[in-house]
Structure 1
Amino acid sequence: MKENQMTSKNQHTMVNKLILSCIFFIFLLYLILRANSPSFKLKNISISSSTHSTCNKIPPSLAKSLLHYATTNRTPQQQMDEISVTYRVLEKKSPCNLLVFGLGFDSLMWRSFNHNGRTVFIEENQHWIDKITKEVPSLEAYHQTYDTRLDQASELLSIGKREDSCKFVGDPRNSKCPLALTNLPKEVYENEWDLIMIDAPTGAGYDLPGRMKVIYTAGLLARNRENGETDVFVHDCKRYAEDKFSRNFLCEGYIREEVRYLRHFTIPSYRSGSIKSFCP
């Protein structure tokens, strides 16, 4: 009897995973079709003098993404309504520069949404980088180590709010603020980012790095760009560190939307000097 119950439970779990995978695959296909053909009709059909017709094909990167998610039971860490928030911005801005803190099962999806743009991933776990990039070699991922612990969040928040150096906008590599990450891969500093997604490092336990410095540094990168705006997305925004640091250093006045556990900020460039305060 017990074995039958266990078998039934395992079958039920497998069915749930299959249903979830199918739902995500359909959602991904919908987004890709919408990005490439909003009216779901073939576009750019041209007929030559020889009556030969051609139409646009799905880009190879999107086709690979569809194949990947259709043949695995792996689904992204974020929920559909959260993904949709970022996707709507990517739909307008791509191809663009997208910086993602965190490497996961959704990485191929983000790169595919940013077709013909540059998508860079920053990950703390080298073993995880090796695993994911072995499955998807086309991903551009870099290893990063962090020197913080989540139990330092309150102290770091006080320092950031108190120190004048933390209100100075400039290249994070030259910042005197203790919250600035000065040792990120050079690719991070040498490019201007249109979107920044913060979903790492790990921050669910007090002995883990937490996202305090990443959130602050993302704010500096956004403010220090030559011109324009940077959309910054913070996942797990209900947790203490993500909530407090994003409100104080990405600024409540720049919040555009919050859906479930994802908070969206739009931060303007400060290079013109017209914006005087760190937060509006």
Structure 2
Amino acid sequence: MKGISGAKLILLQPTPNKGVGGWASQLGVSPHHRVWLIAFISFLTFASLFTLLTTTSRDNSNAAHLSAQFSSSIPLSSPLPSHIFDTLLHYALASNSSSRMDDGDLRAIASVLRRRSPCNLLIFGLGQETLLWRALNHGGRTVFLDENEYYAAHFEERHPGLEAYDVSYITKVKELPDLLAAARAQVKTECRPVQNLLFSDCRLAINDLPNQLYDMPWDVILVDGPRGYHPSSPGRMSAIFSAAVMARSQGAGSTEVLVHDYEREVERVCSEEFLCVENMVGHTDQLAHFVIPRSAAGSADFCANRTAATSPSVPSGSS
């Protein structure tokens, strides 16, 4: 029991009157100095917090400024990078859809867009290639015209940003001979090659589009609509005539016009009548490619080297 009886007991008692300020009393700080010490510590805390907030705000401002500079350095009308262009065309050619264009026609149109885009592109007809044409003309303006207002609205709803308008065609394929005869008779008046179609009374003129479209200098026009496979179908007489007038009437350069289904009589006859053989620069079995120069306001005829007037028969349908 020696170890136990020899132990000493140490008792710890609290020091009176120290409380919160005990540490200050031990340091020998007077109450007056204690107030200044607390004020100094509070000032340091406030200064540190203010510096932190200011630095964070400055960093955010710099980041926003750099982001704005980076965004503004990217051209809004830059063309589609070539590898993306090639990829989109590759998958379009690989499609097994029965309603798509032939490979040669797809390649020919894509070649024009590769060279001209970003550009003002006007397309008659909505279809299998609609989204492809819009994508290949990245940075440009692509406008679609279709005979079916519900189809146009459907495309715009499904694909935000797509610009499509419906057209009311008053022609029929079976009326081709009469329509051509009337256009030839009025070639110096209502059906002249240079005019604003908005005010035209020519039977072949499309004059119910938004006003701005008539003032647009179109770089490329593709005629792939409306329907023309039946005598009672609207046919593409108005589309080809209007494309020919638009190409000649606005801007300072030339317009490339492509007509699909060129093997059919309506497309072939109207192209020769209004786009002219002397302006043809290439063709496939189903696609004709014309380059139309701007014309003077007093131009008397569509074709400078017209030889003999074409006498079309009454089309019986698709060929």
Which residue in 2 is equivalent to 1:103? 126
Residues in 2 aligned to 1:87 and 1:69: alpha-carbon distance in whole angstroms: 11
Residues in 2 aligned to 1:221 and 1:243: alpha-carbon distance in whole angstroms: 19
1:80-129, Cα deviation, whole Å (9 max, x unpaired)? 11111121111111100000000112111001111111101001112322
2:286 to 253, 261, 264: 261
Q: Does 1:36 align with 2:61?
A: no
Identity of aligned residues (%): 36
Which residue in 1 is equivalent to 2:164? 141
2:182 to 149, 159, 173: 159
Query: Secondary structure of the residue that 1:167 maps to in structure 2?
Result: coil
Q: CA RMSD in A?
A: 2.8
- Please give the TM-score of this superposition, normalised by the length of structure 2: 0.63
Q: Does 1:242 align with 2:287?
A: no
Of structures 1 and 2, the larger Rg is shown by: 2
Which residue in 2 is equivalent to 1:206? 231
Report the CA distance between 1:179 and its aligned residue.
1.8
Which residue in 1 is equivalent to 2:46? none
Residues in 2 aligned to 1:131 and 1:179: alpha-carbon distance in whole angstroms: 27
Q: Any gaps of 5 or more consecutive residues in structure 1?
A: 1-34, 41-57
Paired letter, 2:302: F
Paired letter, 1:128: Y
Q: Does 1:120 align with 2:143?
A: yes
Contact 1:225 1:271 in 2 (8 A): no
Contact 2:219 2:255 in 1 (8 A): yes
Which residue in 2 is equivalent to 1:50? none
Q: Any gaps of 5 or more consecutive residues in structure 2?
A: 1-79, 305-319
Report the CA distance between 1:180 and its aligned residue.
1.5
Deviation above 4 Å: which 4+ runs of structure 1? 72-76
Aligned residues: 223
Residues in 2 aligned to 1:238 and 1:168: alpha-carbon distance in whole angstroms: 24
Contact 1:102 1:122 in 2 (8 A): yes
1:161-202, Cα deviation, whole Å (9 max, x unpaired)? 222322341111233432221112334213111000001111
1:191 to 216, 239, 243: 216
Residues in 1 aligned to 2:208 and 2:301: alpha-carbon distance in whole angstroms: 26
Structure 1 residues 228-237 or 73-82, which shifts more? Answer: 73-82
Q: Does 1:87 align with 2:110?
A: yes
